[in-house]
Copies of this chain bind each other. A is one copy, B any other.
Amino acid sequence: MSNTNIIVGQSGGPTSVINSSLAGVFKTARDHGCKKIYGMRNGIEGLLKESYVDISDYIKSNLDIELLKRTPASFLGTCRCKLPTQENSPETYEKIFEILKKLEIGYFFYIGGNDSMDTIAKLSAYGKEFDSDIRFIGIPKTIDNDLAATDHTPGYGSAAKYIATAMKEIICDAKTYSTDSITIVEIMGRNAGWLTAASALSRSEDCSGPDLIYLPEKVFDLDDFVQRIKELKKDNKVVTVAISEGVKNASGRYICEVNKKSIITDSFGHKLLGGTAMYLSDYLTDCTGIKTRGIVFSTLQRCASHLVSSCDISEAFMAGADAVVAALNGENGKMVIFKRISNNPYSIITELCDVQKVANEEKRVPDEWIINNGTYVSKEFEDYARPLIIGELSPFMVDGLPRHLFI
C-alpha cells in the first residue's frame, strides 16, 4: 500500500458513530503504511469540486483518533447526492476518475446508507469497465438500520440507546405528577420503524416503557388509536406513546399531513405544518380533555454523541478497519456487513457482500416482530436490539462539555 493513496468520504444523514468508522479507516490505512489519506469534503459532491483534505493535517496522534470517535456528525462534511447513471452523464464519471488519478488514489471508501452504496456500485462498475485498478469499498452507516444484507448498521445502536434512555427519563418525569397526562414521543424513521421500536428497550425493572409503539410498517388508524388511549387511561394516570414520524393512514398519507390544508390558514399565509406528535397531542387533548404533550427527539437522536453505545462505536470502527483490509486484499464493489454469530453471549463477525445487493434496498422491521395489532414490538426485537446498546464511551469533557474535533 506504501505507494498508493486512499480517499474516504462520508455521505447522507450523520450519526453519532460515523466518525468512528472514519477513525477505523484512517488508523488501519496509516498502520498499513499508506502514503496519503485524503478525505472528501461533503462526500462525492465535494470531490467533484476537488474539495478534499489530507486527514493527517487534523489527526496527528492516537489521542486525536479517540477524539474523532467522540465527535458527532460527519467530520468531513456530508452530502445528499445520488450519482447520475453513466449513460446520462458520462462526464461525471470521467471527471471523478480524473481527480482520483491526479490524487494517485488506489482505494476509495465511502461511509453511508443505501444511496451511498449506489455510488460505490456505480463507481466500481465504471472502474471495471475501464480497467481501473482502484478498489471501491462501502462502509455501512445509518441510524435508521434499514440497510439490507447486514444484521444491523453502525449508528443504530447509539441512536437506540439515546431513544431508550430519553424515553425512560421522560416516563419518570411524567409519573412524578399526580395529574393525568399523555405523552406522545415522535421518533425518526420515515419508512422503517427500527428507531421507534428501540423505545421498547426502556421497559425494565424500573420502568414500564411506552404503552403503545407505532411503526411506519403498519397502517395507523386514528380512531383505533384514540380508543386504545381511552382504554389505557382507565387504569393509568400516565400514558406514553412512541410513534414514528413516518406513520401513515389507510390512504397512505402521513398523519402529520392529514389536515395540511387547514394548517396553512395562518393570517400571514405561512405554513404551520406540525409534526406527527404535535398533531396527535392536539387531537388527543381535544378528544380526551387530558393534558397531552408532544415531544420530538429531532436531530438529537442522531447527534447525541455524549451517550453512545460502546458496542456501536467499536463496531463502527471495525467496519472502517475491515473495509481497508478488504480493499488491500483486492476486493472491489463490496460493502462490509455484520453477521450475528450468537445473541447470548452477543457475538458478530464482519463479512463482505456485493454492494449491488444493498444499494437502493430497504430493510424493515419483520412483520412477526410487530405485535398487539401493530401497537408494540416482540421479545424477539428486544433480543435483537438489546446487545447493540450495551456499554458506554466517556466523552472527553472540557469546561463541563464534550470536546469535539473539527475541520
Which residues of A pack against B, CB within 8 Å?
14, 41-42, 45-46, 71-74, 77-80, 161, 164-166, 168-170, 172-178, 201-202, 204-207, 259, 261-263, 265-274, 278-279, 282-283, 285-286, 293, 295-296, 298-300, 302-307, 309, 386, 389-392, 394, 397-406
Contacts and interface: CB of A to CB of B under 8 A. Distances in A.
Given A283-B268, A299-B295, A400 B201 contact: yes
Given A177-B78, A206-B404, A305 B262 contact: no
A269 B287 CA distance: 11
B271 A282 contact: yes
Contacts of A389: 400-401
A386 B405 CA distance: 21
A169 to B, nearest CB: 4
Given A206-B404, A259-B268, A178 B72 contact: no
A178 B77 CA distance: 7
Given A161-B400, A164-B401, A201-B400, 16 more contacts: A46-B178, A72-B173, A73-B169, A77-B178, A78-B177, A78-B178, A161-B401, A165-B401, A168-B404, A169-B304, A172-B406, A261-B267, A262-B267, A266-B282, A272-B279, A295-B299
Contacts of A272: 259, 263, 272, 274, 278-279, 282
Contact of A400 (B78, B205, B391): B391
A333 B42 CA distance: 61
B73 A178 contact: no
Contacts of A78: 176-178
A279 B282 CA distance: 16
Contact of A305 (B41, B74, B169, B302): B169
Contacts of A174: 299
A404 B206 CA distance: 6
Contact of A164 (B79, B166, B400): B400
Contact of A286 (B73, B271, B278, B299): B271
Contacts of A71: 172
Contact of A177 (B77, B161, B176): B77
Contact of A72 (B172, B262, B296, B394): B172
A300 B170 contact: yes
Given A72-B173, A303-B169, A268 B293 contact: no
A190 B132 CA distance: 63
Contacts of A304: 166, 169
Contact of A207 (B206, B207, B404): B404
B286 A403 contact: no
A176 B73 contact: yes
A350 B390 CA distance: 40
20 contacts: A42-B178, A46-B178, A77-B175, A161-B400, A169-B300, A169-B402, A170-B299, A204-B399, A207-B406, A259-B266, A263-B266, A268-B283, A268-B286, A270-B286, A271-B286, A274-B278, A296-B296, A300-B300, A307-B307, A392-B394
A74 to B, nearest CB: 4
A259 B267 contact: yes
B262 A265 contact: yes
A295 B306 contact: no
Contacts of A270: 282-283, 285-286
B278 A173 contact: no
A177 B81 CA distance: 11
B72 A306 contact: no
